[in-house]
Structure 1
Amino acid sequence: MASNAFSKTIFKLASGLFLTLGLAGASWAQGAPDLSGVTVTVGTPNKTGLHRQLLASGEANGTPYKIEWADFDSTPPLVEALRAGHVDIAAGGDTGVLTAIANGAKITILAGLVERKEGGSAILVRADSPLKTVADLKGKKVALPHFTKQHYQFAKALDDAGLAWDKNLILNLNTTDGLSALVNGQVDAFVVWDPNTAIAQKQHGAVILQNLAKVVDTPSVLYAPTSGYTDPLKRAALEDLTRRIIRAQAWVNNHPKEWSEQVAKLSQISLDAAELQASRSSVAFIPATTGEAVAGWQKEVSFFYKGGQFRKEFDVKDIVAKDFDVIVDSENKKLAKTN
């Protein structure tokens, strides 16, 4: 949305609030919106995302609005909840978000998230598996939660190995069922992310066949329904929460021991698995308009559109929040001074 059009929209909505709500409108006029009546539902598509990070870091404390939590197994069901109005902000894999947008969902990307280390996105096999390379997966059964970030990474890995996507062999299973299928020998490989990868390694002896970040690693996304992004009160809450989310991630990066202990307790996973996932991750937030990020997301959209899995192709630059760049940049600068 162009900045002039957005400004006009904000003015109209703020004016409407002033006329109908009186005190709330006066608060806006003073530049300090009253957010006490606002509830922000935070969506988390894994065991180590925003929910646990905000709690462990203490950034969920003292907000001028109420926070509620909505946890999911992966991004696709989270996005469906967001689309239905049950989630106000979330962070996670880009693929599920881009898929939802291609299917008509109105979502705005607030920021990008880049993994500075190897991360835990991987193709896993059993310890006794004879499979050694991606090419060895030809004719083999693979478990994968479809339309997750790892779906895109795995599809690219198959391309690189000269293998086609076989819908009869690549089974759409959630993280729990996928791990069970691998352990019980019902599939030959399991494609997943941390801390699920770490849990599979530490508790079930799984080994990594291919780290998927080495294949392709587009930034993940912080996102919100466009309706919330354009609503004055909800937007004010999202701006504040975005700053807290960035600080929470910085705390996670800088306190691996404390984070491992906290996430093990909060997510009820083993400490050794929590420590493994923490040791190979360091995530940084970047402005959503960053050229490399937009280019990567655009290539992903084109990949799925050309493959017939997206019904339409769209310009990613049209769904990023340009004005949130200032929030991301300013918070990163503050963190750089304190670290």
Structure 2
Amino acid sequence: MRLKRIIRLIRRAGFAIAFSGSFATASLAQSAPHLSDLTLTVGTPNKTGLHRQLIAANEIENLPYKINWADFDSTPPLVEALRAGHVDIAAGGDTGVLAAIANGVKVTILAGAWERKESGSAILVRGDSPLKGVADLKGHKVALPYFTKQHYQFAKALEQAGVPFDNKLILNLNTTDGLSALVNSQVDAFVVWDPNTAIAQQQHGARILQSLSKVIDTAGVLYAPTYAVEDPVRKAALEDLTRRIIRAQAWVNAHPTEWAEQVAKLSQISPDAANLQASRSRVEYVPATDGDVLSGWQKEVAYFRDSGQFKRDFKVEDYVVKDFGDLIRDENKKLVKTN
């Protein structure tokens, strides 16, 4: 029954796997030929994540292993696929990962990912909406993909504005259904992230009611199933791929115009939306053991536990692979020297 449920969730979320084609064998594979028989599935919970970044930055060239791509609407269905053994590494919002850990999913955190700009994490309303601030949302319907990073940010925004989190009015909708509900006046606001925010603004005239990163911000997560890190062969591949992910993100940060062009082409969104999302994002990978990273995640766990939405409390630090911190610091130093 669990497998059938997972399959339904994956289909509902728009799960898609695309094979990457043939890859040349790199020197790493020559020193460790067992990697050439390995396939890693990379999970992406949006239209601008790892899948497109690694391709745009040419970081899938000369891989010593093979890659499959797994694309999702958001982090929660991605984590369900990870639970079922269909994803080996992913990056995205922290809330879905923390919720998975609270529910007993064996997830391991490899790195944190700080958004250094405002980003497109926001509460959206229609362009002609009379709503002026978060306090005005009281009594109004809101579309929100639950247990995403924006769930936590939105909850804190309501808390600061003195508005209760009403489950009857705050509807759990994915990004496609949420946008449709906003455009068709079935809800009064829509909580979402880029490039969905940029698409709503550019193509549907949506207006940002509140930028959520200004309310509270926590680091995103690079993560993997625990079994993948416990397997020496798979871990070696994950270490190599993590370095490529860091380099790909650095390329994205340094080439916003080219990145926007690639996003428009690879994700089939409008150039205007692609340029807008690229202009307000700059992500940097950092060790997950950094104090501000861990403390932010721990406060988030406490919030969801105290509100009864997490079944148990836990120390986030216990789920971090600490030796990946040295790898991340090393790769970041190499990038500084290169630039």
TM-score (norm 1): 0.91
Contact 1:199-1:270 at 8 Å conserved across structures: yes
Match of 1:316 in 2: 316
**Which AA in structure 2 matches 1:85?**
G
By how many angstroms is 1:62 displaced? 1.1
SS in 1 for 2:41: strand
Report the equivalent of 1:181.
181
How far 1:61 moved relative to its partner? Answer: 1.4
Bigger-Rg structure (1/2):
1
1:122 matched to which residue of 2? 122
**C-alpha deviation, 1:327, in angstroms:** 0.8
Aligned partner of 1:241 in structure 2 is: 241
The Cα offsets for residues 58-82 of structure 1, whole Å up to 9 and x where unpaired, read as 0011110000000000000000000
Partner of 1:252: 252
Call closer, same or farther: CA 1:33–1:291 in 2, change over 3 Å: farther
Return structure 1 stretches of 4+ with deviation > 6 angstroms.
Answer: none
Residues 136-172 of structure 1: per-residue CA shift (max 9 Å, x gap): 0000000011000000000000100111110000001
Partner of 1:291: 291
Query: Deviations along 1:264-293, whole A, 9 cap, x unmatched?
Result: 000000000000000000000000100100
Query: Match for residue 66 of structure 1?
Result: 66
Matched AA of 1:233: V
Matches within 5 A, 1:268-279: 268-279=268-279
Residue identity matched to 1:150: Q
Q: Which residue of 1 aligns with 2:16?
A: none
Query: Which residue does 1:21 correspond to in 2?
Result: none
Residue identity opposite 2:170 in structure 1: I
- Return the alpha-carbon distance in structure 2 between the equivalents of residues 201 and 46 of structure 1: 17
**Cα distance per residue 1:107-146 (max 9 Å; x no partner):** 1100000011000100000011010110000000000110
- How many residues matched? 311
Query: Could you tell me how far apart the structure 2 residues matched to 1:308 and 1:144 are?
Result: 18
Contact 1:141 1:187 in 2 (8 A): yes
Q: Secondary structure at the match of 1:68?
A: strand
Corresponding letter in the other structure for 1:54: L
For residues 189-228 of structure 1, the aligned pairs below 5 Å read 189-228=189-228
Alpha-carbon offset, residue 213 of structure 1: 0.2
Counterpart residue identity of residue 41, structure 1: T
Tell me which amino acid in the other structure corresponds to 1:318. Answer: D
Q: Percent identity?
A: 75
3-state SS in 1 of match to 2:35: coil
Aligned equivalents of 1:51, 1:225: Cα separation in 2: 18
Give 2:334's aligned amino acid.
K
Q: Name the aligned partner's letter for residue 219 of structure 2.
A: P
- Taking the aligned partners of 1:83 and 1:308, their CA distance within structure 2 comes to 23
Which residues of structure 1 form unaligned runs of 5+? 1-27
Q: Distance in 2 between matches of 1:244 and 1:253?
A: 14
SS at match of 2:146: coil
Is the contact between residue 33 and residue 233 of structure 1 (CA under 8 Å) also seen in structure 2? no
CA distance in 2 between partners of 1:90 and 1:108 (Å): 11
Q: What RMSD in Å do the two structures reach over aligned CA positions?
A: 1.1
Give SS of 2:40's match: strand
Q: Structure 2: 5+ residue runs without aligned partners?
A: 1-27
1:16 is aligned to none
CA contact (8 A) 1:44 1:78 kept: yes
Partner of 2:104: 104
Secondary structure at the residue paired with 1:78? Answer: helix
Letter aligned with residue 153 of structure 1: Q
